[in-house]
Amino acid sequence: MELFQALNVQGRVISALTLRETRARYGNSKLGFFWALFEPFAHITVFIGIFSALGRAVPLGDSMGLFMLTGIIPWLLYSNTVSNVMGGLNSNKSLLGYPQVMPMDITISRVVLEAATLFIVMLLFLAGFFYLGVRIEIDSFLQMFSAYALLILLATGVGLINAAIVPIYPSYQSIYSAFSRPLYFISGVFFTADFLQPEVFAAIDFNPLIHLIEWFRSGFYPSFQSHLYDPEYAVAVCVSVFALGLIVERVNSKKARQV
């Protein structure tokens, strides 16, 4: 009975924190939710312009915009979640003065908001493409959901590890930012793994993001079956990083409460 009461309290705390984060992110600006739509729109528009200028054909399917969407959403889910988790405790440190609020509650609320926001953004873009006459046939919602969930685990784990390192080494945030930028170009956002030469793919095979984006697209496109991505490797890396992040968070939780 006490367990259910504790879970009920934690659920209400997380709900309240999520609502607070939503208001802070979208309620304090006249543009509000527009910014959540603008970021993927800007990425898609820029790459459509570049590929059109280069005369490049659509790597997959009939729509370059739809192809870019299936790469941008997973990438933004990863990068935005890492950023929000990494800075979550520092920007909400005053809330830890309340005994009901645990450091992990702040993390969960931010992850839930980011995952829900990008899922809604994806649905809105799909509706827009459908309205414009783009044919949309989704092969497997289960595969897409699996890749989406694993991206959340990976990003949360990396964010928790980073959140513990930054207070000790403040310059680490800049180092991580510089290191993560090249990931955008080697994670399959605007290409498929089959497009690469085997030796090139072997050089970036360590990157779990390219496996997860390939996985996501395999679930989206009925005609796409990537033979290069490794689901077992992606699962092993995501679960391992998430578990390590939880361990680091547990060790660091007492320090986080020091206001």
**What is the residue extent of each domain of the chain?**
2-256
223 near 73, Cβ under 8 Å? no
Cα distance between residue 194 and residue 97, in whole Å: 51
> pLDDT digits over 10-67, tens only?
677 778 777 877 777 776 665 666 777 787 888 888 888 887 777 777 788 788 889 9
152 near 111, Cβ under 8 Å? yes
Which helix (H) or strand (E) segment holds residue 110: the answer is: helix 103-131
DSSP state of 33: T
**Largest Cα–Cα distance of the chain, in whole Å?**
64
Of 225 and 158, the structure prediction assigns the larger pLDDT to: 158
71 near 47, Cβ under 8 Å? no
Which helix (H) or strand (E) segment holds residue 177: the answer is: helix 172-180
245 near 157, Cβ under 8 Å? yes
What residue type is 42 in one-letter code? A
CA R_g for the chain = 19
Please tell me the number of Cα atoms within 13 Å of 44 on its side-chain side.
Answer: 21
Task: Please give the average per-residue pLDDT across 67-96, as a whole number.
Answer: 83
Of the candidates 103, 94, 87, the residue with the CA atom closest to the CA atom of residue 159: 87
The pLDDT, as a whole number, for residue 259 is 45
The pLDDT, as a whole number, for residue 168 is 82
Cα distance between residue 154 and residue 59, in whole Å: 27
Q: Which two three-digit tokens encode residue 96?
A: 């830890």
- Cα 251 to Cα 32, 87, 106, 246, 254: the distances in Å are 36, 18, 16, 9, 7
What length does the chain have?
259
> pLDDT digits over 88-145, tens only?
666 666 666 666 667 787 888 889 989 998 999 899 899 988 998 888 888 889 999 9
What residue type is 98 in one-letter code? Y
155 near 85, Cβ under 8 Å? yes
- Cα 43 to Cα 64, 72, 79, 206, 226: the distances in Å are 12, 7, 14, 25, 24
Task: Please give the average per-residue pLDDT across 234-246, as a whole number.
Answer: 95
Cα distance between residue 225 and residue 184, in whole Å: 22
Percentage of residues in the chain having pLDDT higher than 70: 85
53 near 187, Cβ under 8 Å? no
Whole-prediction pTM:
0.90
